[in-house]
Structure 1
Amino acid sequence: MGRVRKVLGRPWIIGVLVVAMAGAGFGLYWFQPWKLWQDETVQEALPGAAEASAPPTVAPSGSPFASPSVQSVPDTLAGGELISHEHATSGTVKLVRLVDGSHVVRLENLDTSNGPDLRVWLTDAPVKEGMAGWRVFDDGEYVSLGRLKGNKGSQNYAVPEDVDLSRYSSVSIWCDRFDVSFGAAELAQV
């Protein structure tokens, strides 16, 4: 008991303990290591897929992926397979034009690690394998489609109407906190 009083009686030791505890708290907040063991599975249907009997609509003009034909079901315009970057990542990415003419990026059978501040980005960067591809996606032009809904499953991300799809060639699962790609896919027209 006397030793504890002696240690607590030194103000610099208390200061060091406070700084150490604050540093540990900040580190836990920043890295969120518990997310590595927490999976979030999201299973969304493709919008409009069940509405195949809806009246046909004409695809919007001016889009590089537009077609003059009448469309009554969602149309996959481009796609690719996810490759791993900072974390093991697999699944399929599709750029889909919906019946109403809007576009979504669809992640199917996604399987990646959970992490802090994960986003889905539509980018103009080429997909590179290995460490060379980890940090390229914020070097050029990109559009954030929002937070990753879950690190597993199939999900849809709306593409804003004002996005010129001809300017983007890939999709990245991007960790905004650490500026690194968890995985990415090159979009090839189908």
Structure 2
Amino acid sequence: MTAHGPKLTQRGQATRERIVTAAARLMYERGVAGTSTPDVRTAAGVSSSQIYHYFADKSALTMAVIEQQTEMILRRQNTLLDKLDSFEGLWAWRDCIVDLVRELGCAGGCPLGSLTTELADHDPRAREALAAGFSRWGTAIRDGLRTMIDLGRLSPDADPDHLSLAMLAALQGGLLLAQAQHTTAALEAGLDAMIERIACHAVPT
């Protein structure tokens, strides 16, 4: 058994992934409410029966999209998140995010943030899944800061839980403003301010 029911064949897994990927793209572009099952069927190149073979309803498909988007975000940043054990690593992560947003023309915002705005107030299961996704993101940042303390780069009085939560908040707020203003200025200001705040706990070398 898998987390999604009976173990799938390789072909079945590929079909399921194709459906989720198509749904994720459409929901990112149009929102969950603006994405219908026929839309997903056409985009994925599958039949309605195939969709309902893997997903009981649209809610189940949406949960799979949340899971995929979380994994995608963490996978894309994995190499940099693993190196958040120095100020050089923090700045490299910051630059990567800013560059990516610029490449996208400041459009779209954060996939998890967009889903949260649409679903959190009326879909408790989706809200919990999204909160868990953000928690995993924040935990990766927190672990880097804890490593900096362990390596003697940050003072023990630094609070990794508080600082990582604030960093994630600055990131999400910056992504939202980048989408609204079509400039990375607020995103850069928020991330820069947080790294400078963390630097207040730097151990002199």
**Which of 1 and 2 has higher RCO (CA within 8 Å, sep 6+)?**
1
Greater Rg by CA: 1
What TM-score comes out, normalization by structure 1 length?
Answer: 0.26
What TM-score comes out, normalization by structure 2 length?
Answer: 0.24
Q: Determine which structure has the larger helix proportion and give its number.
A: 2
Q: Determine which structure has the larger strand proportion and give its number.
A: 1
